[in-house]
A and B are shown apart, each in its own frame.
Chain A
Amino acid sequence: DTAVSQTPKYLVTQMGNDKSIKCEQNLGHDTMYWYKQDSKKFLKIMFSYNNKELIINETVPNRFSPKSPDKAHLNLHINSLELGDSAVYFCASSLRREQYFGPGTRLTVT
């Protein structure tokens, strides 16, 4: 029944590691997104992707890369993790303008 799901829910890892967060939507939406929510709850778009284009927020380090194996999935790969990457990462999808969010992945880098 879950519309947008993410795994894992929690991720604790050490600096320098490479990790991935998976996202799946069963809504048949064309566009998927990744957002980062910092400790002050500020949400910022990182990527948006549909089958035609990938839009990257220019402030996102190139250590972050989205990968979409198919229309229902948009995974987030992070290389060489840094302390400042600790945050909650949300995946979302949309068909028109309103977005449907996943439950979030809390990433803690130690």
Chain B
Amino acid sequence: SQQGEEDPQALSIQEGENATMNCSYKTSINNLQWYRQNSGRGLVHLILIRSNEREKHSGRLRVTLDTSKKSSSLLITASRAADTASYFCATDAGGGADGLTFGKGTHLIIQP
């Protein structure tokens, strides 16, 4: 069954603005990850936040995690045209070789 739900499904902003995407999930997790997928390409890992962490930064990315609400957000600051892509959250239950459970993704368009 689907775990993550991203919100919004699509987001279009001007270059230089900040973009915020949200993700909700349903079950207990070991960690939550965000991935980027450019059109016609594979997914690229962006950032991982563990269940005992509340916030994490990596360059222009900021991720928050609220396990009580089972939600996470991804903030991209000072967006660039190259940030145009689909962004997926993925939950990891932490059990052995289990794969990730992905949400539906947010399609982000940065207008130059």
Contact = CB atoms under 8 A, between A and B. Distances in A.
Contact of A90 (B30, B40, B42, B92): B42
Interface of B: 2, 30-31, 33, 35, 37, 40-45, 48, 86, 88, 92, 94, 96-102, 104-105
- Chain A interface residue count: which class? 20 to 34
Given A97-B30, A98-B48, A43 B88 contact: yes
Nearest to A104: B42
Interface of A: 4, 31, 33, 35, 40-45, 47-50, 52-53, 55, 57, 90, 92, 97-104
B100 A45 contact: yes
Contact of A48 (B37, B41, B99): B99
A45 B99 contact: yes
B48 A42 contact: no
B102 A104 contact: no
Contacts of B92: 97
Nearest to A90: B42
A90 B105 contact: no
22 contacts: A31-B97, A33-B99, A40-B104, A41-B86, A41-B105, A42-B2, A43-B88, A44-B102, A45-B99, A45-B100, A45-B101, A48-B99, A55-B97, A97-B30, A97-B31, A97-B33, A97-B94, A98-B48, A99-B43, A101-B44, A103-B41, A104-B40
